[in-house]
Chain A
């Protein structure tokens, strides 16, 4: 029998046919929507007088614009308020399930999908948000799409797409202590570059990904797009099935065994072919931080800020641009860089295990005076579990603000924004110019534990030195 990788199997199972331009018409089994990229798509449907073809395959939540420090509607921002109302209207008019703010299930779309059991192995998933690759942690093929494609999915449940190549990225060996999934993915992007993944789906594998929890796998898959890969996935295994068991949209008891067998059948066959294979040593990975203005401009905590003078001529200009924007000095150590704001949250690192891990290190520590530090749970469910476990109190006692669920300062479409050229230690996924709401604001991406360490000392710190080994 022909040996195939997961991507090819899932692609084939969902192919409707070839289109005139050579792209594939791909059936998308699960479609997730949110308030920012869907209203224009519904508008286009209304204009063309088209119905939503399979409303039961689309699920909605609201995340980007929700304020995290007020729950009362109307929101003080009239534009944000209009957007949530528009989504409500569209879901109602077209019969789409909406995890609204009063359901206890609202949250960042990439946290909500897995939490509800909507994300399962062997599925095709799409959402009008580039971090949809997160869902690949379950062995699904999950695409971030534009609004016209949201329209296409609503109208036909299919979209036009060119087939991707598959690169297997193996991280073998054992991670040093104090190294997290965030460090692993930042390290991968640093090695392969921001557009190294163009045209590829990334299959993450090897010892490290096998030993990762589902939430750690999600953190890594989440940032695939930051390396230019449209899709990133991990083959499904026992951990995947354990995570899914008993969730609201997971298969019920009587269909369970059959579903697991089906899911297993999608996993890449041993000895199947890949278009490319990259191997990485786990022991090379250090706590990794971005210093620049794209996620590949990252270094280990013990490295120094690169000097554009020593770079290839092609890189010189972009390194200089990043150094200037970040107001750093070439050759200086990144450790000790003063920060103004600390943000723990986002679809990369706003899950319960992220919050638990940080809380377990905080005992006795306090956020540095004058520093703003906020924790924004990825969903209302994460928030509830954390509150039941007293994690909110640990954060509050340490001087963090504890907020309600949303994207918040990851992209600052709500009131949480940097001011002026504040520097933010952030557990999110993008450090683009102006990303966190101020045109001159600066972002350094790192693991939540590293954010906490910086919040306590007020400067970029090696968390392994601050927090004792467990």
Chain B
């Protein structure tokens, strides 16, 4: 089945401030006791959103105006820590379709692209600008143009960085590499035979 070509992601932005937000914070390990990813959206940022007794904490994701946001704005080194795909999966299943940050941890970035969820890097100045715009108007619609590498928000057009390989795979609908990997069957078989170890 051909994958969707991702040219554009639009929606409202929720700002989750902080640098070095690690995968344990995105999805605490105790919620990884599951054999499918299906219900993970519910546990996104769980310990940031809830007190131990279940009461709501002060967190942007708890604010009603951001309930349907599909773009997250955050700090630098987002997604550091574990290789758990549970982290991008919980974001995706909570309705997020793009992440804007200073930069991303590598495994997290790769895992997210494989889901068709662009992770784009924006300078601190521009992140502050976007954050300011949302504070003024939480309903502001933003649109990520993957081809142009620009975020259009309000009257502003802000450049972002996205590795060209990742960008192309989103645009061409080849962000999930499995089909392409399956094609090289014969070369793979040869390598399998020739390697000195099984």
Q: Interface of A with B (CB < 8 Å)?
A: 13-14, 16-17, 19-23, 25, 27, 29-30, 36-37, 39-40, 43, 48, 53-54, 56-57, 64-65, 77, 79-80, 82-83, 86, 120, 122-123, 128-130, 132, 144-149, 151-152, 155-162, 194-195, 198-199, 225, 228, 230, 259, 262, 294, 317-318, 321, 411-413, 430, 432-435, 437, 439-440
Cβ distance A113 to chain B, nearest Cβ, rounded Å: 13
B31 to chain A, nearest CB (A): 10
Q: Is the CB of B85 within 8 A of A20?
A: no
B187 touches A432 (CB 8 A): no
Given contacts A39-B35, A120-B197, A195-B105, contact A21 B165 (CB under 8 A): yes
0/1 string, B184-198, CB within 8 A of A gives 1: 110110011001111
16 contacts between A and B (CB under 8 A): A20-B168, A22-B165, A36-B33, A40-B35, A40-B37, A53-B188, A56-B198, A128-B85, A129-B83, A146-B85, A147-B37, A151-B178, A228-B105, A230-B107, A434-B28, A435-B29
Q: Which listed residue, B22, B89, B111, B181, touches A158 by the CB 8 Å rule?
A: B181
Question: Is the Cβ of A435 less than 8 Å from the Cβ of B174?
Answer: no
Residue in B closest to A151 when the chains form the complex, CB atoms = B178
CA distance A23 to B106 in the complex (A): 14
Q: How far is the CA of A79 from the CA of B39 in the complex (A)?
A: 14
Q: Are A43 and B35 in contact (CB under 8 A)?
A: yes
Provide the residues of chain B in CB contact with A17, threshold 8 Å.
184, 187
A160 touches B196 (CB 8 A): no
Residues of A within 8 A of B69 (CB): none
Known A412-B30, A413-B30, A439-B52; judge A294-B103 contact (CB<8 A).
no
Q: How far is the CA of A53 from the CA of B187 in the complex (A)?
A: 14
Instruction: Determine if B145 is an interface residue (Cβ-Cβ < 8 Å).
Output: no
B22 pairs with A294, CB closer than 8 A:
yes
User: Is B77 at the interface (CB under 8 A from chain A)?
Assistant: yes
Q: Which residue of A lies closest to B124 (CB)?
A: A314
B11 within 8 A of A: no
Total interface residues in chain B, CB < 8 Å: 59
B172 within 8 A of A: yes
Whole-angstrom distance from the CB of B57 to the nearest CB of chain A?
10
Q: Which residues of B contact A147 (CB under 8 A)?
A: 37, 84-86, 89, 111
- The smallest C-beta distance from A30 to any residue of chain B, in angstroms, reads 8
Contact partner of A21 among B86, B168, B195, CB < 8 A? B168
Instruction: Check B166 against A21 for contact (C-beta < 8 Å).
Output: yes
The reply to whether B34 and A123 contact each other, CB–CB distance below 8 Å, is no
Instruction: Give the distance to chain A from B176, nearest Cβ to Cβ, in Å.
Output: 7
* Chain A residues whose CB sits within 8 angstroms of the CB of B169 once the complex forms: 20-21
Q: For residue B174, which residues in chain A have a CB less than 8 angstroms away from its CB?
A: 20-21
Docked CA distance A21–B181 (Å): 12
Q: For A56, what are the chain B residues with a Cβ–Cβ distance below 8 Å?
A: 198
Please tell me if the beta carbons of B107 and A432 are within 8 angstroms of each other in the complex. Answer: no
- A152-B177 in contact given A27-B192, A158-B188, A411-B29 (Cβ < 8 Å): yes
| Contact (A29, B197) CB under 8 Å given A130-B81, A228-B80 | yes
Instruction: Judge whether A156 and B182 touch: CB under 8 Å.
Output: yes
State whether B106 touches A152 (Cβ < 8 A): no
Q: Which 6 pairs between the two chains have the least Cβ-Cβ distance?
A: A146-B85, A146-B111, A439-B47, A79-B33, A39-B35, A21-B165
| Contact, CB under 8 Å: A157 / B188 | yes
From residue B142, how far is it (CB to closest CB) to chain A in Å? 24
Contact partners of A162 in chain B: CB under 8 A: 163, 165
Interface residues of B (CB under 8 A from A): 18-20, 22, 24-25, 28-30, 32-37, 47, 52, 77, 80-86, 88-89, 103, 105-107, 110-111, 114-115, 163-166, 168-169, 172, 174, 176-178, 180-182, 184-185, 187-188, 191-192, 195-198
CB–CB A83/B198 < 8 A: no
User: What residue in chain A is nearest B88 (Cβ atoms)?
Assistant: A146
- CB contact under 8 A between A146 and B29, given known A20-B180, A158-B181, A432-B22: no
Contacts of B106 in A (CB 8 A): 198-199, 228, 230
Known contacts A57-B192, A152-B181, then 19 further A-B pairs from the complex at CB < 8 Å, ordered by chain A residue: A23-B177, A25-B180, A30-B197, A37-B83, A43-B36, A146-B85, A147-B85, A156-B182, A159-B181, A160-B177, A199-B106, A228-B106, A318-B18, A432-B22, A433-B22, A433-B25, A434-B25, A439-B52, A440-B52
Task: Indicate if the CB atoms of B111 and A80 lie closer than 8 Å.
Answer: no
Contacts of B110 in A (CB 8 A): 146, 149, 161
B181 x A130 contact (CB < 8 A):
no
Contact present for B187 and A413 (CB under 8 Å): no
- CA of A157 to CA of B25 in the docked complex: distance in angstroms? 31
- Cα A43 to Cα B85 in complex, Å, equals 14
A83, A122, A159, A432: the one contacting B25 at CB < 8 Å is: A432
Residue from B107, B165, B176 in contact with A23 in the complex, judged by beta carbons closer than 8 Å: B165
Taking the closest CB of chain B, its distance from the CB of A134, in whole angstroms, is 13
